A and B are shown apart, each in its own frame.
Chain A
Amino acid sequence: NAGVTQTPKFQVLKTGQSMTLQCAQDMNHEYMSWYRQDPGMGLRLIHYSVGAGITDQGEVPNGYNVSRSTTEDFPLRLLSAAPSQTSVYFCASRPEGGRANEQFFGPGTRLTVL
């Protein structure tokens, strides 16, 4: 299993540009989520999904869109990038059921918005 994969690893955008951060997992996990990590801070939840066709907002959803058409993929879209969205983005997944709810994180995408 490749686990949770993310592309690209690095990206530089200009203000106002749009892009999609890709996330995929091959563990058949129902739950997937996106976090951002700013310097010196913990991760903050952007959006999450509990299954194909179901998404919901996290703590900091503004400026981001998500969709979940398959169990494997959970892309994160920035419609009009802003410098405040410069961050490292992590995708995570976990299986449904049980109480542990332990999440597995991808390698991250470092995004800079100029």
Chain B
Amino acid sequence: ELKVEQNPLFLSMQEGKNYTIYCNYSTTSDRLYWYRQDPGKSLESLFVLLSNGAVKQEGRLMASLDTKARLSTLHITAAVHDLSATYFCAVGNNAGNMLTFGGGTRLMVKP
């Protein structure tokens, strides 16, 4: 059974600081997704990572994938208040028909 663990579960940071969210998963997969969810809203796709060593960047967010370590990271650079949200990683199975989600990281960026 695939298990996906994120840490930290809650992150409070000051604007301008850097931090990394970690996503570990238990079985082999080369499909890793990052989503953002604002309170009371749906999920917005941020990144799709499909190979070992994949790195994608959008604004102040950068995601990477290490399939050998079964680890993905979401790095936040010089955080701003607008990044406050809950971030989920999700791992796809090899058949491509299921996503298993981590528990989410609630990020709060304070001025």
- Asked if A53 is at the interface (CB within 8 A of a chain B CB), the reply is no
In the complex, which of the residues A31, A42, A104 contacts B97, with contact meaning CB atoms closer than 8 Å? Answer: A31
Given contacts A31-B97, A48-B98, A102 and B103 within 8 Å (CB-CB):
no
Q: How large is the interface on A (under 10, 10 to 19, 20 to 34, 35 or more residues)?
A: 20 to 34
Residues of B42-81 at the interface with A, using a CB-CB cut-off of 8 Å, are 42-43, 45, 48, 50
The reply on B96 being an interface residue by CB < 8 A is yes
Cβ–Cβ contact A106 & B42, under 8 A: yes
B103 touches A99 (CB 8 A): no
* Chain B residues within an 8 Å CB radius of A50: 97
| Dominant secondary structure of chain A at its interface with chain B | loop
Residues of A within 8 A of B43 (CB): 43, 90, 105
Residues 75 to 114 of chain A near chain B (Cβ within 8 Å): 90, 99-108
Select from chain B the residue with minimum beta-carbon distance to A42: B101
Please name all residues of chain B whose beta carbon is closer than 8 Å to the beta carbon of A59 when the two chains form the complex: 98, 100
Would B42 and A58 count as touching, CB distance under 8 A?
no
Q: Chain B residues near A102 (CB, 8 Å)?
A: 33, 45, 48
Say how far A13's CB is from chain B's closest CB, in angstroms: 20
Residue of A nearest to B35 (CB): A105
Q: Which residues of A contact B (CB under 8 A)?
A: 31, 40-45, 48, 50, 56, 58-59, 90, 99-108
